[in-house]
Structure 1
Amino acid sequence: MLYSITAARSTRQLAENRITHILSVCSDPIPAEVPEAGIVHQRIIIEDADYADLLIHLPASCRFIESALSSGGDILVHSVQGTSRSAAVVAAYFMYSRRINSTQALDLIRTARNYVWPNPGFQEQLVLFELCHYAPSPSNAIYVNWHSKLERKLRAAGLPSLADTTGKESSAMTSVDRS
């Protein structure tokens, strides 16, 4: 299930859809009472910006989605609007699980939600995700080259380096017991 933050904040919608897991791909927190509903929640704090490094978070996101589904759970993946960040993560999951390319994954998502448009930086990172064999890491040459190129672009534009935002982009996982 791919939606905006509004769905993640609605305890009624979460209950109606039997959501057991939430993957939040944004900096906006969801209210505290939602995790108290016994929902396993993982959060990736990241901006919807071409320069944001979503790529490094994709393997863990895919594992989280896979874990939710394989345990018989239902998952909500959301960002603020549900069109860029979360769409890129769901596309990455489809790429990983079905071994399809980014265009095919986005087309698949658009059959259910037609206004899905990851920003150009995330679209590029989906292509790189496949080139990295779904395992980007600081030791993967493709990831390292892309990251270095991005750092140079940021410096040239006078923007903060990714190293300055690393703490903001780290994912935190919290699990709450079901009552």
Structure 2
Amino acid sequence: MSAMEVNVASQPRLTDEQLRTVVQGPGDVEWRYEMRRECQEILPGLFLGPFVASKSLETLQSLGITHIVCIRDAKEAFSVKPRFPGTFQYMTLDVEDNEEQNLIRLFPGAKDFINTAIANGGRVLVHCNGGISLSPSFVVMFVMQYYQLSWEDALHMVQNRRYCISPNGGFLTQIKEYEAIYKANIAVASYPQAHRQASRRKRTDDDDEDEENRLEDRKRPLVKEESEDMDPNAMEMS
């Protein structure tokens, strides 16, 4: 487990006021259409944007970017690709940008990459081609778990910083499903270790007892001894 994952897991629950502030985001930003071609900081050290934002070395360096998650449709591999592999550390995910694509299966690898980068003082840009549906879905799932938000609040939080995002219907369904998944993982992780050990010991004891019973059953004769059932006088003539 990386240091960032520990921090995420132990992050204190936000007060209602803090939650509203986080979700609402900066209120002094006036969204302009051309900002679709730029990247925006969603939470400290995590940026979201389109592929075009990853093509400017000057911009990336001015933002202090150290790691880039390049998410692309497999058909776009010839054009949407790492541009500065010698300068930044990349993670490239080839997916299908359609409603049937399973993002939840791919998300843990991306989450670990982002966690490790930020834990080591890095700054991460997550992008797809347009920065509208595919990469925002990953970022929504990340901030959902980071701040332990509902899927609606996580979606609004990202939208309030990058107004143009719009995950497709299939991705939105998976975002909703991920809320139950991350909450279940937190519940399991927070369950007292002593209780887990006691439960394992009880299962082990029960298994041992079952095995002893099975061995005892095998030792019992399947047919009673002839002397136990036979009437000694049965064969005598009356």
Q: Distance in 2 between matches of 1:3 and 1:10?
A: 12
Q: CA deviation at 1:114?
A: 0.7
Is the 2:70–2:82 Cα contact (8 Å) retained in structure 1?
no
Aligned to 2:229: none
Aligned to 2:155: 106
Unmatched tracts of structure 1, length 5 or more: 137-179
* 1:88 partner letter: S
Is the 2:118–2:124 Cα contact (8 Å) retained in structure 1?
yes
Q: Distance in 2 between matches of 1:135 and 1:36?
A: 39
Matched residue count: 135
* 2:50 partner letter: S
Q: Distance in 2 between matches of 1:125 and 1:66?
A: 21
Aligned to 1:131: 180
User: Relative CO higher for 1 or 2, CA cutoff 8 Å, sep ≥ 6?
Assistant: 1
Instruction: Tell me the C-alpha RMSD between the 2 structures.
Output: 1.9
TM-score with structure 2 setting the length: 0.53
Q: CA deviation at 1:129?
A: 1.4
Q: Distance in 1 between matches of 2:124 and 2:151?
A: 21
* Structure-2 change in CA distance of 1:33 and 1:122 (3 Å): closer
Aligned to 1:36: 86
Q: Is 1:71 aligned with 2:117?
A: no
Is the 1:59–1:135 Cα contact (8 Å) retained in structure 2?
no
* 2:116 partner letter: S
Secondary structure of 2:105's partner? helix
Aligned to 2:6: none
* 1:126 partner letter: I
Task: State the identity %.
Answer: 27
Q: Select the structure of larger CA radius of gyration.
A: 2
Q: For residues 35-67 of structure 1, give each alpha carbon's deviation from its aligned partner in whole angstroms, at most 9, with x where no partner exists.
A: 111x11111111221011111011221121111
